[in-house]
Amino acid sequence: MARKYIDCREFPSDMNCTVTIAADSEQELMAVAVQHAVSVHGHQDSPELRTQLKRTMHDGSPPA
């Protein structure tokens, strides 16, 4: 199983969020990334948000 991650710095934001989220599965990563986007950034959970998040998923572990 390949580790995946999303780096919030890749999304334009007034908050300049520096959170990186990693998980062992795409499903787990998506669930946590959506929760972060909704609760921290005020996004609506929508198919468009999930598509955008999926495009920013990377294989491997985040760089140190």
- Per the structure, the complete domain to which residue 48 belongs is given by 4-59
Q: What is the CA radius of gyration of the chain?
A: 11
Among residues 27, 19, 30, the alpha carbon closest in space to that of 52 is found at 30
Per-residue pLDDT at 34 exceeds 70? yes
Residue 23 bridge partners (DSSP): 4
Q: What is the pLDDT of residue 1?
A: 67
Q: What is the pLDDT of residue 11?
A: 82
* Angle of CA points 34, 37, 41, to nearest 5°: 165
- Categorize the per-residue pLDDT at 50 as very low, low, confident or very high, splitting at 50, 70 and 90: very high
Helices (H), the chain: 26-39, 47-55
Has residue 64 been placed in a domain? no
Average pLDDT over residues 45-56: 96
Q: What is the pLDDT of residue 13?
A: 78
What's the domain count of the chain? 1
